[in-house]
Amino acid sequence: MSPWLIITASVAGLVLLLAIDSVYIFTLRNMTAYFHSGQTFISSLLIISFLSNAIVPFMFIAILKTVLSVYRYRYDQRNIAILRHVRLAMLMIAAASIISGISYPEITVIILLLTGELFDRILFYFDFEPTKINNLIYKHIAERKNETKGD
């Protein structure tokens, strides 16, 4: 297989993963929710680095995801903290597995990592607070009415 084809497919895949995450940017109420450990780009990089046994990139991304999860935990308004703990535990088990190399290629560790990433994506949707289009429409109409009254 041509190296250029592999590079082109990899870049196209990464751009599409960023496009998936950018769909949510435009509907956010506050931009602090933009960085989340459950974003597809970050999760995909973590899974790829784990499956390719790239320890340093995996650990960097795992630490980034842990920091983002802990930050999000501080602002958790719902009672879903147990899901956050289980998700972080699964990430730590996968990290210990890849660092030690003892049980790295086992299917159970891979399933734990993928389940943890699924939980993280579920948490992403729990934390996602889009702006309601109805509110924007009503706000725009009210502004228009105020403008016409002032004339």
Q: What is the pLDDT along the chain (151 residues), one digit of tens a residue?
A: 788 998 999 899 989 988 888 777 766 655 555 677 888 888 898 999 998 888 999 999 999 988 888 877 776 666 677 888 888 899 898 898 888 887 677 898 899 999 999 998 888 888 776 666 677 677 778 887 777 765 5
Q: Which residue has the tokens 């929710």?
A: 33
28: β partners: 130
E strands within 7-147? Answer: none
- The DSSP element (H or E) to which 87 belongs, if any, is helix 81-100
- The DSSP element (H or E) to which 68 belongs, if any, is helix 55-74
Number of domains in the chain: 1
Segments forming the whole domain that contains residue 23 = 3-150
- Residue 104, SS3? coil
